[in-house]
Amino acid sequence: MEIKSKFKSSLLMLCIFLCIGSVAHAETELKVLGTSPFSQYELKSVDDLRQMVESLRSDLKNGFERVGAADLFEGFLTQVNQGNVDTIEVQPGQKMQWMIFRNARAVKVITDLVWAGDEPFTAYQLDVDKSGTRYSFIIPVICGNVALAQASTVPASAAAPMPVAAPQETATPVSPPAVVEPDKGHFVADIGVMYMDEPVTYLPVRVGYDYWFCDYFSLLGLVGYAPVIHGKGGIDDGAIMADLLGVFRYGRMFLGAGAGYWHSDLSEHVDGIAELGYIIFGEPAEQNVSLFVEGRSAFDEFDHLEKGRIGAGVRFQF
């Protein structure tokens, strides 16, 4: 009965944490610019914009392809090269269908967002007309990210004049390109070694989901089992774990802190958890492999940290 109870508890926690990755989300509120810039320098003039587009042309093309707008890329280049660009002030509340940016040199896209900052921001604005539809782009000068603000029917005054003798034709509105939703999270798995000064050594194995709220913060839910591989003399076979951590990222480094449930034959408690890690293979927002060290201790035993557990391991992000 006790084994069944443990299994039910772990299954319940697994369902709760994996639901993090399936929760529907509303439009993203963008409150700060420049944290994940496409350009490493401010675009102080249209010439700066032109130079950025030329130097990062392949990355920009990659972004247009990822968001499903590859057929608009050449028109975008033409407008930039010809200088058909205006400078505008983007007001709070401005919606954007998608935005292309770079995170740790990797090209990323985010969809369905709105400018929720306290003040307007300065941006370049240009239009690309294709098949009767006008696509309006904005590029913040502070970061060079490229965003599609809206797609609308080309005004009649801007359309090419029709021959007098020909019957009048009405342009058929074309729907905007299909938008590819960016990954909001990743499944993860890790394995390591954890030591407790009893002495006892565990081999923790966990799986879970890492839900990204932005490019530098995510919520990581993990469940797993840590069998005893040394010590305890058969008294304790292992422990069930269910952990929830907030993870902060800076480049390839990450710092996690949170709480976790620990249940073994000898004890049951809620732990405080801290971990520090570094990505050794892959990019932060893509498939990668990282090494980490982790410490955990029951909240009511913080004054006896020698009763805590410390370990290290390898984590795989899919």
Q: What is the pLDDT of residues 43-89, one digit of tens each?
A: 999 999 999 999 999 999 999 999 999 999 999 999 999 999 999 99
Q: Are residues 269 and 311 in the same domain?
A: yes
Q: Are residues 311 and 196 both part of a single domain? A: yes
Residues 59 and 14 in one domain: no
Q: Say if residue 293's pLDDT is above 60.
A: yes
Total of domains in the chain: 2
Of 258 and 104, more confident: 258
C-alpha 76/C-alpha 104 separation (Å) is 25
Shortest CA distance to 272 belongs to which of 240, 305, 239?
A: 305
Residue 20 has pLDDT above 50, yes or no: no
Residue 173 in any domain: the answer is no
Q: 47 and 16 share a domain?
A: no
Is residue 14 very low, low, confident or very high in pLDDT (cuts 50, 70, 90)? Answer: very low
CA distance 201 to 194: 6
In a domain, 245, yes or no: yes
CA atoms within 13 Å, Cβ hemisphere of 287: 1
Q: 14 is in which domain, residue-wise?
A: 2-24+184-317
In a domain, 216, yes or no: yes
**Domain-embedded: residue 177:** no
Q: Is residue 259 part of a domain?
A: yes
Core vs surface per residue 131-165: b (16+ CB within 10 A) or e: eebebbbbbbbbbbbbbbbebeebeeeeeeeeeee
Same domain, 244 and 262: yes
Both 20 and 41 in a single domain? no
Indicate whether 100 and 18 sit together in one domain: no
Q: Do residues 40 and 152 share a domain?
A: yes
In a domain, residue 113? The reply is: yes
Name which of 177, 173, 125 is nearest 152 in CA terms: 173
Do 229 and 192 touch, CB atoms closer than 8 A?
no
Looking at the structure, do residues 95 and 138 belong to the same domain, yes or no? yes
Same domain, 266 and 230: yes
Confidence of residue 287 (pLDDT cuts 50, 70, 90): confident
Residue 139 included in any domain:
yes
Q: Stretch 21-26: mean pLDDT, rounded?
A: 43
Same domain, 145 and 209: no
| Distance of alpha carbon 142 from the chain centroid | 21
Does the pLDDT of residue 303 top 80, yes or no? no
pLDDT on residue 306: 67
Do residue 145 and residue 95 come from a single domain?
Answer: yes
C-alpha 196: how far from its chain's center? 35
> Of 140, 158, 176, which residue is a domain's last?
158
DSSP per-residue string spanning 269-303: EEEEEEEEEEEEEE-TTSSEEEEEEEEEEEGGGGG
CA distance 117 to 96: 14
pLDDT confidence of residue 91 = 94
Give residues with Cβ within 8 angstroms of 235, minimum separation 6.
265, 266
pLDDT at 177 over 80: no
The set of residues, in sequence order, having a beta carbon less than 8 Å from that of 55 and lying 6+ positions away, is none
In a domain, 163, yes or no: no
Whether the model pTM is above 0.75? no
